[in-house]
Amino acid sequence: MAQRIVIENAAIATVDAADTEHATGHVVLHGNRIESLGAGPAPEGLADVARRIDATGHLVTPGLVNTHHHYYQWITRGLATDHNLFDWLVALYPTWARIDEPMVRAAAEGSLAMMARGGVTTAMDHHYVFPRGTGDLSAAIIGAARDLGVRFTLARGSMDRGESDGGLPPDFAVESLDGALTATEETVRRHHDPSFDAMTQVAVAPCSPFSVSTELMRQGAELARRLGVRLHTHGSETVEEEKFCHELFGMGPTDYFESTGWLGEDVWMAHCVHMNDSDIAAFARTGTGVAHCPSSNARLAAGIARVPDLLAAGVPVGLGVDGTASNESGELHTELRNALLINRLGAHREAALNARQALRLGTYGGAQVLGRAREIGSLEPGKLADLVLWRMDTLAHASIADPVTALVFGAAAPVTASFVNGRQIVENGRLLTADEDEIARSTRAEARRLAEIAAG
Ligand SMILES: [Zn+2]
């Protein structure tokens, strides 16, 4: 018999279609679903109440949804800190090519733990480095997410354009076309759960136009559609990538994606910084989603994505941490703030984004691009019980006028509790599902081991 958890006396930002908020309200969880919510105290006479939480001084929001990341990079943070994308990739690929299963497992735990303690309830990993003979990396990553209790999409990546084919990765770090497609299909068949309350899903995710053959892009899209799963890749990240696409394919990235079957409502693309008006119109027309990664774009000097224009055109936009070799913080709640501030440096200035829009990017927008807007991303009866209690009555936030403004404009807010699928995974900023100190130790050890192997 499913039990109830009653949360009362909190400010609530539902991020539903009407942006409904309650200055003081309640949320009732029943099993893994949100049963009811609204202003004032919870209804009286509820049966099977396992727990009542007095959330005075808190803001309750939907759990944050991360839409772009590369977990393995957790153990190569702080390297090549003053490079642009292509130089950074060339500097790091020889190290990345040496990863093995224990390294990937530790890095996944580190990445997931960091996000979860900051209010992420749904995460993804775009993993595309599969050196030969290094174990079952996909199962290691999925196992880490399952153990930490985070809802998860594995974007099973691939690369088949090594150095000898004009690509950037060393040849020994890439797969063959057939090898990549076969392994991706097997991962989907083994791990993808299409159900409403799925904790694990899989997407087909060749790395990027400059590390993947046209045939892998084309056949990858066909595979995803045959299996009924989503498609993910990097797109339009830098001016260098745009130039590369023109030289190699005779067209820009968006036209190349269209020509290979990579625009559609089942596709989401990381970055999308260098988009002209017709690129944005193509995304809007096809329903293609965007994972906006403001900190990574700033770190690699990629530019400012046109988020206000994407939103005005009706393009679904979520937020991404991106790999932590290009965003050492690994946190998503600070990306709400960075998305807002960085977009205000673009063409629309102070009208670019407001606090509510930034919160929407990190919640409902993320659910949209992961194809899960029916199930998560807003607080509504019947949706899955993925939500966060942000503490707003401490030194950092207590004197800020409005809780949503405090969450987005203020310092990174402490998480008092975070629930995924009705299960609490964070309490007072600490993970309940894993030992953070142990993860810190193992990630440090694996980072050292990788550095030693790479130094050869
Ligand atoms: Zn990325």
Which of the listed residues 370, 389, 408 is the one where a domain comes to its end? 370
Looking at the structure, tell me whether residues 73 and 163 fall in a common domain: yes
Give the pLDDT confidence of 172-192 residue by residue, as tens digits. Answer: 889 999 999 999 999 999 999
Total domain count for the chain? 2
Q: Is residue 171's pLDDT more than 90?
A: no
- How remote is the CA of residue 67 from the centroid of ligand 1, in Å? 10
Please state, rounded to an integer, the average pLDDT across all residues of the chain. Answer: 96
Residue 448 belongs to some domain of the structure: no
- How remote is the CA of residue 12 from the centroid of ligand 1, in Å? 32
Beta carbons of 349 and 104 less than 8 angstroms apart: no
Q: Is residue 1's pLDDT more than 80?
A: no
**Maximum pairwise Cα distance, the chain:** 70
Looking at the structure, tell me whether residues 397 and 258 fall in a common domain: no
- How remote is the CA of residue 389 from the centroid of ligand 1, in Å? 29
Give the pLDDT confidence of 29-86 residue by residue, as tens digits. Answer: 999 999 999 999 999 999 999 999 999 999 999 999 999 999 999 999 999 999 999 8
Owning domain of residue 357: 64-370
Give the pLDDT confidence of 311-369 residue by residue, as tens digits. Answer: 999 999 999 999 999 999 999 999 999 999 999 999 999 999 999 999 999 999 999 99
- How remote is the CA of residue 269 from the centroid of ligand 1, in Å? 10
pTM of the model: 0.98
Looking at the structure, tell me whether residues 155 and 298 fall in a common domain: yes
Q: Residues 265-289: what's their mean pLDDT?
A: 98
- How remote is the CA of residue 55 from the centroid of ligand 1, in Å? 36
- How remote is the CA of residue 323 from the centroid of ligand 1, in Å? 6
Beta carbons of 304 and 89 less than 8 angstroms apart: no
Alpha helix positions (H), 117-208: 137-148, 177-191
**pLDDT of the residue at 144:** 98
Residue 445 belongs to some domain of the structure: no
- How remote is the CA of residue 232 from the centroid of ligand 1, in Å? 10
- How remote is the CA of residue 393 from the centroid of ligand 1, in Å? 35
Looking at the structure, tell me whether residues 77 and 221 fall in a common domain: yes
- How remote is the CA of residue 189 from the centroid of ligand 1, in Å? 25
**pLDDT of the residue at 403:** 98
Contacts of 44 (CB under 8 A, 6+ apart): none
Looking at the structure, tell me whether residues 295 and 163 fall in a common domain: yes
- How remote is the CA of residue 325 from the centroid of ligand 1, in Å? 10
Looking at the structure, tell me whether residues 198 and 326 fall in a common domain: yes
Q: In CATH, what number is assigned to the domain containing residue 162?
A: 3.20.20.140
Strand partners, 271: 235
Looking at the structure, tell me whether residues 382 and 311 fall in a common domain: no
Long-range pairs for 440-447 at CB < 8 Å and ≥24 separation?
A: 440/110, 442/106, 442/109, 443/74, 443/75, 443/106, 443/107, 443/109, 443/110, 445/106, 446/75, 446/102, 446/103, 446/106, 446/107, 447/75, 447/76, 447/77
